[in-house]
Every structure is written in C-alpha cells, then in structure tokens.
Amino acid sequence: MASTAMTMPPRCAIVTGVARRRGIGRSIVDCFLNEGYCVVGSDIQALEEQGSCVTNSRFHFVRADVSDAAQAKSIVQASLERFGHHIHVLVNNAALTRGEEGQDAIQAFDAMLRVNLNGPFYLSHYAIPHMPRGCSSIIHVSSTRALQSEADTAGYTASKAGLCGLTHSQAITYAGHARVNAILPGWINTSDEHEHEVAIREVDKKWHPVGRVGEPVDVAQLCLFLCDESKSGFITGQQFVVDGGTTVKMVYPS
C-alpha cells in the first residue's frame, strides 16, 4: 500500500562568497548539497567551474555585489523564483580582506565595511520575511580578527567585529523567528591542492594546538550543526571560534 505521507520539499540555503573552488563558501555549498538542501550561491566574481556543485540541479549561482542593497535583494529574489517561497538558511560568507589596487586607506576601509558588514545586513533584511519561523538560521562568517589584530587591518578587523555585534543584535530582533550565530575562523587553508604542501609548513601545523591548520570543511560542518534545530535549537546570538586553539595560546617574545 502506498504511503499517504506527504514528501516535504527540500530546505533552501543562500550562501555568499562561493566563487573560489577551494574557498570556505564553496565547501559550505557542497556540505549543504550533500545534506539535500537546495542552494543559491552568490559572488561578485565569476564561478570557478570546477567542483560538483556546478552540475547539481539543486544549485543556482547568482553573480552579484552584496555591498549594493538592490543586488543583495536580487539574490533573495533569485532564490524564491528558483526554489520556492521559503529560505531556511542564510550564510553570509562574502568578504573583502584588503583594499583594491589604487585605493587609499579611506576608500579601502569604506569598501570593506560595505561588503563585510553592510552586505550581511542587507541580505538578512531581505531574507527574513521568507524564513519560516522556528526552523531558520542566519550565520555570519566573521574572523578571529574580530578578537585580535595585525597592523594595518582596520577595515577588515572593524567589519568582522561588527558582524559579532550584528549577530547578537539580530538574535534578539529575530527572536522566535530565526536563530542567528557567528563563526570566527582562524587560519583556514584555501590554497589549491597542488599548492598545499608548499603553502603549509610543519612549523605552521605545530603552531596550532590541534597540530594542523584549518580546512574549509571545518567551517562548513559547523554551519550544518548551527542550522540543524534538532541539534542546536537552544543556541542563538553566539560566536564560535574555529582556529585550532590559537587564540587561547599564550605567546611570549622569543
């Protein structure tokens, strides 16, 4: 006898900053696709064509600049048109790490805030009306630079710290509607496989208390956990450091 149970439509996620094949965003896309999600990926750059997601019918790419409110809205609209009227997950991963060639310090600072902080606000604002109450999540990919700095990183540091503030503000604003959390990656190896051994030295691995540098999947798996209300339904407004233990390591001058 055929089952009368209705098949639930797949959950839908939007992930920004997905162009690079070895990037954090692409790993997040792959993990969500493997879990059965429909995924809309977006980036200001063209999508690097390698990778399984490119040929997956549950993946749709939108080339857009999240620092522009109208283009951020177009990403949400593309998701609704392609996969239906619900958005269950928003992962704000797109980021500028440095200013573009020819920019002065003020221009670079403004650009990083627009992409790294304004963009996540715009996308959250446009996505939240379409996120089902009680089973939706927003994740902001911040950085350990929100907690510690190198010289001449004002725009990146300020924007990533701002994401932590946006996280707990939205967790209260969207209470009962969507849970909002932040992930703060440390050193994540996003180099191509053939560059891996050149880029990562033994001393780099030993610097980390866990004995290795991070991989994009380390961030992606935490995203999956934070979006699963059966596992993380009591967690909102929090920030999770994914850095192999380096930010808690006491360092003295040599």
Q: What is the pTM of this model?
A: 0.92
Does residue 6 fall inside a structural domain? no
Q: Within a 13 Å sphere around the CA of 84, how many CA atoms are in the beta-carbon half? A: 15
Residue 120 to residue 142: CA distance in whole angstroms = 11
The number of distinct structural domains making up the chain is 1
Percent of the chain, pLDDT > 90? 82
Does residue 254 fall inside a structural domain? no
C-alpha dihedral sign at 218, 224, 229, 230: negative
- Nearest CA among 150, 148, 100 for reference residue 247: 148
Q: Is the pLDDT of residue 100 over 90?
A: no
Q: Is the pLDDT of residue 51 over 70?
A: no
The one-character DSSP state at 20 is: S
Task: Give pLDDT, residue 7.
Answer: 64
Q: Tell me: the pLDDT tens digits for 20-41?
A: 999 999 999 999 999 999 999 9
Extract the tokens encoding 20: 């690079």
Does residue 47 fall inside a structural domain? yes
Task: Give pLDDT, residue 226.
Answer: 98
Q: What kind and span of H or E run contains 180?
A: strand 178-185
Q: What is the CATH number of the domain that holds 191?
A: 3.40.50.720
Q: Tell me: the pLDDT tens digits for 221-254?
A: 999 999 999 999 999 999 999 999 999 999 888 7
**Catalytic site positions:** 156
Q: Tell me: the pLDDT tens digits for 176-205?
A: 999 999 999 999 999 865 554 557 899 999
Q: Is the pLDDT of residue 4 over 50?
A: no
Starting at the earlier edge strand, list the strands of the sheet with 12-16. Answer: 59-63, 38-43, 12-16, 89-92, 136-141, 178-185, 239-242
Which range is least confidently modeled, 80-89, 109-118, 127-136, 199-208? 199-208
Q: Is the pLDDT of residue 219 over 90?
A: yes
| β-pairing verdict for 38-43 and 12-16 | parallel
Does residue 104 fall inside a structural domain? yes
Structural domain span for residue 137: 12-245
Does residue 5 fall inside a structural domain? no
Task: Give pLDDT, residue 133.
Answer: 96
For 52-57, what is the mean pLDDT? 77
Does residue 253 fall inside a structural domain? no
Q: Please spell the DSSP secondary structure of 194-223, one letter per residue.
A: GGHHHH--HHHHHHSTTSS-B-HHHHHHHH
Residue 24 to residue 191: CA distance in whole angstroms = 11
